[in-house]
Amino acid sequence: MGHAEERTLAELKTFRKTLVDPRIATHCGRIVKTTGDGMLVEFASAVDAARCSVEIQREMAQQNAAVPPELRIEFRIGIHVGDIIIDDNDIFGDGVNIAARLEGIAEPGGICISDDAHRQIRGKLDVAFDDIGEQTLKNIAEPMRVWLIRLARESAPAIPSNSSAKQVRDLALPDKPSIVVLPFDNMSAEAGQDYLADGIVEAITAALSCIRSFFVIARSSAFTYKGRAINARNVGKELGVAYLLEGSVQKVGNRLRIIVQLIETEGGAHVWSSRFDGAVDEFFDLEDRITEQVAGALQPSIRIAEIERSRRKRPQDLSSYDYTMRAMPHVWALEKEESAKAIELLEKALAIDPEYPLALSLAGWCHAQRSVYNWADDIVGSQAMARSLAERAAEMSGDDPIILAVLGAVHTFVRNHGTARILLERAVSLDPNAAWAWSRLGWLENYADQPQKAIDNFERALRLSPIDPMNFNNYVGIASAHEVAQEYDKAAAFYRRALEERPNASWIYRNLASVLSGAGRVGEAKQAFEELMLTYPDLTISKFKQAMVFSPAVLNRMAENLRKLGLPD
């Protein structure tokens, strides 16, 4: 054995004696066996395994800080939850094999965990997680979703990494009870059950939002915390709320168990907690019971009648609900391929239950996107389809704020601005916390040449949903208001900010190129126009004006600015 190998072996033994073995013992682990420079360890819970692994890797990172890279000893760790076979003092089975394969794809000094382990760990440790998607593991039949544990002590950023850090700021509390319903943990052993947990959050958020005396953060902002370790005080500051609701959902066979707790964000005190048990076919009744108790805990004077009017027409089949929940993130991405995925899922939902209003409404919104973003060759056909679907939804559920807002947006795109205003104002009267409805009202003011009113509505939407992934569209709206006011430099700044948050929203280049041209920034305008032509090689002035719904005066100015750059008529 060479001197380097002897030194490495000696250091490895030292680390085991002083760090690794004591940490394993502290967290009730059992060293099953060692394999050269590796080991197999069994823990009673995934949380114990993760906590032990994090402590070891953090300590190793500190000890390696002053050591040259070529001389460092770095461990890789894989964690999985699964069935094992016990044979004397050894363990075997897929659970062991998967953990070993996860270790193999971890970075030196890193920790890889399976999706099953992640479901049990998230929210219980001072760490954040990075989803690296499905991975093909050697000798494992099916691809597996894998997560990396981020070891930094601070929680994950509250906004996407490509966003400006200046967006994260402490927000003042409103003058009424304020709450965010955070994503619930899915503790089910069965794969693919996240939609149950997400659906409960969606329903509770919608019901609480309809109580006018509450201030409720929009679902889109709440879901940015999914899969992250959270600190109640930090969430309160980031979102400007006094309370948060969190929980978990576990499905075993046909039975559901839902555990929820209401937490005061300033001090982290638990205000109320409860457990709800029932059958899967009682899913919606469980949602209602939870909503009623949360509302009563926040403000005892709230009447059950105020919650009753928030209840949407339910689907006849949970499978329709499942497809609709799965479509949600694709619906709101405002990207061509994502919208197509959403339509595909919503068509499956409607094939099962053709009269499910939420699915009809969301499908209508997706077809509306195809018209206004110049994705469809037949813009008029897309507008007609959008209107047909949205009106069918409203016929069956005309008091649902989301459905009213979608129908209002669709009427905006077909230039029925009076009808759109009635519908959107009705939506925000039913749900004053409907961030997206306020955003659509902002767009309506832009189309009516009222830029300051538009900015007020967009800023209200931003406050109601401060870290919403959809907020890039509010920045587009503010930019558009400045464009309407012919404040082209301000408009360009906000369009660029929107593109920083959503680089794939290439339809924004239609506007960015126009305002840069209007501002006389010719070189930048040509660059933006080149980007536009990469995605829209067949775009013409005629197609542009057919899709856009601004006033004739504004549209003519926009078209002329693009014509200067070479866009054909």
Q: Are 179 and 208 a contacting pair, CB within 8 Å?
A: yes
Contacts of 5 (CB under 8 A, 6+ apart): none
Q: Which tokens go with 264?
A: 């005061």
d(CA 418, CA 423) in angstroms, rounded, equals 9
HEC sequence for 488-539: HHHHHHHHHHHHHHCCCCHHHHHHHHHHHHHCCCHHHHHHHHHHHHHHCCCC
CATH T-level topology, domain 3-150? Alpha-Beta Plaits (3.30.70)
d(CA 333, CA 469) in angstroms, rounded, equals 8
d(CA 47, CA 186) in angstroms, rounded, equals 15
pLDDT at residue 1 in the model: 40
Q: In percent, how much of the chain has pLDDT > 70?
A: 90
Closest CA to 291 of 247, 325, 231: 247
d(CA 27, CA 45) in angstroms, rounded, equals 10
For 261-318, write each residue's pLDDT tens digit.
Answer: 888 888 777 777 788 888 887 877 777 777 777 766 665 544 444 444 444 455 566 6
CATH number for the segment(s) 470-569: 1.25.40.10
Q: So what's the architecture of 169-308 in CATH? A: 3-Layer(aba) Sandwich (3.40)
Q: Cα–Cα distances in Å, from 270 out to 262, 265, 299?
A: 6, 9, 16
Q: What is the pTM of this model?
A: 0.57
CATH 1.25.40.10 for domain 313-432: yes
When pLDDT is cut at 50, 70 and 90, the band that residue 367 belongs to is: very high
Helices and strands per DSSP (H, E), number in the chain: 24, 14
Residue written as token pair 């959270």: 230
- Measure CA 192 to chain center: 17
The residue type of 372 is V
Q: Cα–Cα distances in Å, from 39 out to 17, 88, 465, 514?
A: 14, 17, 46, 62
Res 361 pLDDT > 80: yes
Q: Is 138 helix (H, G, I), strand (E, B) or coil?
A: coil
Can 313-432 and 470-569 be said to share one CATH topology? yes
Ordered by start, the domain boundaries in the chain are 3-150, 169-308, 313-432, 470-569
Res 152 pLDDT > 70: no
Q: Are 410 and 445 a contacting pair, CB within 8 Å?
A: no
d(CA 200, CA 290) in angstroms, rounded, equals 9
Stated length of the chain: 569
Q: Are 416 and 387 a contacting pair, CB within 8 Å?
A: no
Q: Is 417 helix (H, G, I), strand (E, B) or coil?
A: helix
For 199-246, write each residue's pLDDT tens digit.
Answer: 788 878 887 877 766 788 988 788 888 877 778 888 888 898 888 888
Least confident range from 73-77, 293-297, 433-437, 495-499: namely 293-297
Q: Cα–Cα distances in Å, from 390 out to 75, 327, 400?
A: 55, 16, 12
